[in-house]
Structure 1
Amino acid sequence: MKWREYAEQMALLARNLLAQDSVQATLDEIAASAVRLVDGCDAAGILAVRKGRAVTLAAHGDMVRESDRLQGELGEGPCFDLAHGEGGQRVYRIADLTEPQPAWERYASGARELGVGSMTGVLLYTDDADFGALNLYARQPGTFGEDIEVAGWLLASHAAVALADARTIDQLEHAMETRHAIGEAMGILMERHRLSEDDAFQVLRRISQHHNIKLRDVAQRVRTDRTDPA
């Protein structure tokens, strides 16, 4: 794909990513877009490392989850190391996986059995934290040359903006839902027990603290069960 055409595709991608309605939908679209936009890319996924464990956040193509599972079991691999922050890397590229890979010998052997011939990845990060690694797979060795690093950065940059936006929207929606649930539960208690607004809130708060349950969950129980929280 020529760079002008790729730039136009990136502009379309930016609009498409920002149109997604959740963080998960954004992650899924990032992976799907990588396969659609990058020449020779057969599969793509987003891998995160949480408390030392590999977690597949998105996968487009069968080999992605198998590759992530293998790296998680072995505790090694280019995607795993990148997502884990090993060596301070922001990008990796394996042009030909059929050649020896001393850093990931066990993973490379397993990846070849999965049909992976070439790999590349770039770190996805928002303004406050690393999100994970966007990894691209090709069955054909030699697919990803040096140009892919620039293309990967462009894709990851657009993805990071969309992720930050999606996370903000999710947080706002969650906050609004929580406020609505608590307000409705307070109204039920006020009507049932003739409590003031402040007293109703304090009842919910005390139950939350005493039973170590989130305030929103206490409110939801009052709303759905219509039971006395005491």
Structure 2
Amino acid sequence: MEGTGDWAQFAQQMASMARHLLAQESVDATLARITASATELVEGCDAAGILVLHDSQVESLAPTERLVVDSDQLQHQLGEGPCFDAARVGVKERVYRIGDLTGGQQRWPAYAPQAHALGVGSMMGFLLFTEDEELGALNLYSRTPGAFSEISETAGWLLASHAAIAFSTACTHAQMEQAVATRHMIGEAMGILMGVRHLTEEQAFDVLRRYSQENNVKLREVARLVCEQGTL
């Protein structure tokens, strides 16, 4: 993308990708579109994935190839690696670029040679974040050393910026849908208890709440049990 025409075409592709991202109907579809877009739009990118940490447990989301999962698991086993660092909350670096994993990496001495053995030649990663939250890391892989240039990094950064917004929006929508579904299920469960046990609305809710607390079960799971079994 050295000429004005190339950048104009890239800008059009990025705008189209952003529209498609926001049009996705689920979190999984959004993530799959993000990683697929990375391989389509970022020069040198052979594979991509999103790494999320949950209490130091690694989760690989929407990997385009097995290589991504293997790399994430390797970093989890070793407790080190660029993707691991990029996804870790509190780490200040929001972008990394490793030009060549065939050479010695002082920062990740255990990970680099084993990643190269997996077939990784070079890597880039971008923290996915909004003003309110950090969502994980978008990681790009190439089998070729030196595949990623400054232009690739700029393209990846632009993609990550759009991706973070789409990811956050998709999560928010999913949470809202889950909340609505949970309220509906709780209401249905209360209605069942009111009919079976001849309880008031307040008493029925109190039965659900007490069962939840005494058995350390989430309220929506208690409601689901009532809906499935007809009682507790």
TM range (shorter): over 0.9
Q: 2:83: which partner in 1?
A: 79
Kindly indicate whether residue 9 of structure 2 is the aligned counterpart of residue 5 of structure 1: yes
Shift of 1:194: 2.1
Residues 190 and 62 (structure 1), Cα distance of their counterparts in 2 relative to 1, 3 Å cut: same
Equivalent-residue separation in structure 2 for 1:13 and 1:96 (angstroms): 29
Instruction: Give the Cα–Cα distance (whole angstroms) in 2 for the partners of residues 207 and 80 of structure 1.
Output: 40
Matches within 5 A, 1:1-230: 1=1, 2-85=6-89, 87-226=91-230, 228-229=231-232
Distance 1:206 1:125, change over 3 A: same
The CA deviation at 1:97 is 1.9
Q: Distance in 1 between matches of 2:194 and 2:105?
A: 67
Tell me if the contact between 2:81 and 2:111 (Cα under 8 Å) persists in the aligned partners: yes
Contact 1:190–1:200, Cα closer than 8 Å, also in 2: yes
Contiguous gaps of at least 5 residues in structure 1: none
| Alpha-carbon spacing, 1:85–1:219, altered in 2? closer, same or farther (3 Å) | closer
Structure 2 contact 128–136 (Cα < 8 Å) conserved:
yes
Q: CA offset at residue 25 of structure 1?
A: 2.3
SS of aligned partner of 2:62: strand
8 Å CA contact 1:17–1:30 kept in 2: the answer is: yes
Paired residue type of 2:48: A
Q: Distance in 2 between matches of 1:169 and 1:85?
A: 23
* Offset at residue 178 of structure 1 (A): 0.5
- Structure 2: how far apart are the matches of 1:85 and 1:191? 48
Q: Normalising by structure 2, what TM-score? A: 0.92
1:85 deviates by 4.6
The alpha-carbon deviation at position 87 of structure 1 amounts to: 4.9
Post-superposition Cα deviations, 1:110-138, rounded to whole Å, max 9, x if no partner, equal 11111111111110113322111111011
Structure 1 residues 87, 165: CA separation in 2 closer, same or farther (over 3 Å shift)? closer
Deviation at 1:53, TM superposition (A): 2.8
CA contact (8 A) 2:35 2:62 kept: yes
* Deviation (angstroms), 1:150: 1.4
Relative to 1, partners in 2 of residues 1:145 and 1:33: Cα closer, same or farther, differing over 3 Å?
Answer: same
Distance in 2 separating the partners of 1:85 and 1:51: 10
With over 3 angstroms needed to count, the CA separation of the structure-2 counterparts of 1:132 and 1:117, relative to structure 1, is same
Q: Which amino acid aligns with 1:113?
A: A
Letter in 1 for 2:65: G
Distance change >3 Å, CA 86–CA 218, structure 1 → 2: closer
Residues 75-123 of structure 1: CA deviation (Å, up to 9, x unaligned): 1111111112575101000122222211112211011111111111110
Quote the offset at 1:4 in angstroms: 1.3
Residue 52 of structure 1, CA deviation:
2.2
**Displacement after TM superposition at 1:215 (Å):** 1.2
Instruction: Tell me, yes or no, if the aligned pair for 1:54 and 1:69 is still in contact at 8 Å.
Output: yes
Count of residues in Structure 1 that have an aligned counterpart in Structure 2: 228
